[in-house]
Amino acid sequence: MAPERELAVDALEIAAYLEADGLSDESLRGRYNAGGLFQAAELLFAQRGSGRALNRLPSAPLPDFPWHMLLRGPLYLLPGLAGLMITGPLGQGASAAFTFAAAFGWGWSMTIAGLRYSEPFAVPGRAMRAALWLAGLMGTLGGAVTAVLLAGPDQAVLGALSGGVVALATASAGILLALGRITLSAGAFAVPLLAATIVQASVLPVMESMITSGSEVASSVAASTLVNADLASADLASAELATSEVARSVVGAGMVGAAASPSLVLPLIALALLAVLPVLAVLRATRAPGELPTTWAVFKPHLRLAIYGWAMALTFVAFSAQVGAWPLLPIIVSAGLLEAGVWHAQERLQHAARSLRDLSDLRWRGRVTVPAVALLYAAVLALALLLVKVTGVLPQFSGIPPGVQVAVALLGAAFLLSAWLANQRQVTALLGLWSVAAVLTFTALIPLPLLSISLVLILMLSALSALNDPRSYR
C-alpha cells in the first residue's frame, strides 16, 4: 500500500480506497482470490506496514475433471442412430437424405453452441427456436435435392421428409445439450429410438438387411456427434459417413426394400415420432425468449463455425473411406470425453492465471497443460483400440493394422486441439487446415499416419503460439 494508506484507521477506510481505485468484488476474487471488497480490505488492514498487502499466492484447489460431461457424447448419437434405422427401410432416397442431414448437423450444432454462448446466463429461446426451424428447412431442401440426385426424381418426397426430420432431430439434440438439459434430451429420444428398433426388427428376417444395418450403424454414429467441444466444446456432432460407406448403405437399403418390401407404415410412424418428440422437448426448454434477437447480425458470426464443422466432417468422412467405419468408433463414442478434456484444460489455465504472478511461469504452465490433455486423449483412444482388438469383443477390430490405430488416436488429439483453438477464435485458420486435410485424405496423397502426425504438429504449434497471449487463459 501507499504510505498514506498504511495510516488508515480501520478496514472500512481501506475499502473506500479500493472502491475509489475501481476494484470490484469480481476483480478482487479473480485476481487475488479474495472473498470480496470488504474481505480484501480487512486483509490489507491486517497486513499494513508488512509490505505484503495482497501480493501473495492464493491457495485455490485445482479444478476437478468434469466427469458429468462424458454422457454428452453418447447422447449426441441418438438422433443419428434412430434416423439411420428408420430411413433405411424407406429406400434409397431416404437413405441419401439421411446422409445429407447427418453431415449438415455436424456444423449446425457448432452454430447452436455459439448462439448459446452469446447469452450464457439465460436461455436464448428465440434464437434457439430459429436455429431449430432453419435446420428443419435446410434438411428438407437438402434432403430432397440429395434424394433426386442419388436416387431419382420419384424419391424427392421421401428425401425431403427424411432430411427434414433428421435435421430437426439433430438440431434438437444440439440445443438440449447446449442448454444442459441432459435428462430431457435422453427422454425425448427414448421413444423414437424404441420405434426405430421396432422398424429394424420388422426387416430382420431378410439377411441382407441384417448385414447392411450392421455396417451402417457403425458409420451412422459419426453422422451426429463430435460437436462442439469446441465451444465447450463442445466440441462436436459427427459424420463417419465415408464416400464408400455412403454408396454401400444406399445400395444396401435398396436391396432390403426390394427383397423384403416392408410396409411403410411403421417407418413413417417412427419418423413422425423422431420429428415431434424432440421438437416438443426443445419448445419446452426454450419457453423463456431471452434477450438474443433472431436477426442476421446475430447468426452471421456463428455461421463460419458451421462451415468449419463441415470441413472437419469431410475429413472424418475421408478417413472413414480409407480405413472403414469401425476403427473410428472410439472417437465417436468418446466425444463427451473430448469435450470434457477441452473444458478441463481451460479450467486449468484459468486456475494458473489466478495462482501465478509471473507471465513466463503462466505461459510455461499453459504450454504443458494443453498438449498434455491432447496427448492423454490420444493415449485413451489408442488403449481403447488395443483392448478391443486384444479381447476380441468386437471382431471387426481384429484386422486393424497398427498404423491405422496410430492414425486414429492422433486424429482424436487433432480434434481436441482444434476444439481448444476454436475457443480462442482461430476458426478461419482451422477452416483452411481441415479443408486441406479433407482433400489430402480423399485423394490419398499422404499416408494416414503421416497426415495425422502432421495435423497434430501443426495444431500443437498453433496452440503453443496462442498460449503466448494472456487472453488464452480467460
pLDDT digits (tens, 9 = 90+) for 1-24: 555 556 676 777 777 777 777 777
- For residue 234, which phi and psi values (nearest 5 degrees)? -150, 170
CA distances from 249 to 85, 290, 319 (A): 11, 42, 17
Position 58 scores a pLDDT of 54
Residues 6+ apart with CB under 8 A from 225: 73, 76, 77, 80, 236, 237, 238, 332, 335
Beta bridge partners of 228: 235
pLDDT per residue as tens digits for the range 311-364 = 998 898 889 889 888 898 889 889 889 999 999 999 999 988 878 878 888 899
Position 17 scores a pLDDT of 76
- Tell me, rounded to whole angstroms, the distance of Cα 384 from its chain centroid: 20
Please list the alpha-helical segments (H only) found in 48-90: 72-87
Pick 214 or 473 by higher pLDDT: 473
Residues 6+ apart with CB under 8 A from 350: 63, 473, 474
Identify residue 261 by its one-letter amino acid code: S
pLDDT at 229 over 70: no
Q: Phi-psi region for residue 303, left (φ > 0), alpha (ψ -120 to 50) or beta?
A: alpha
Query: pTM for this structure?
Result: 0.73
Cell of 239: 459424420
Distance of alpha carbon 426 from alpha carbon 179, whole angstroms: 24
Position 48 scores a pLDDT of 61
pLDDT at 308 over 70: yes
By C-alpha distance, which of 359, 355, 362 is closest to 56?
Answer: 355
Specify whether the CB–CB gap between 440 and 322 falls below 8 A: no
List, in sequence order, every beta strand (DSSP E) within 287-404. Answer: none
Position 239 scores a pLDDT of 35
pLDDT at 378 over 50: yes
Residues 6+ apart with CB under 8 A from 393: none
Distance of alpha carbon 136 from alpha carbon 75, whole angstroms: 20
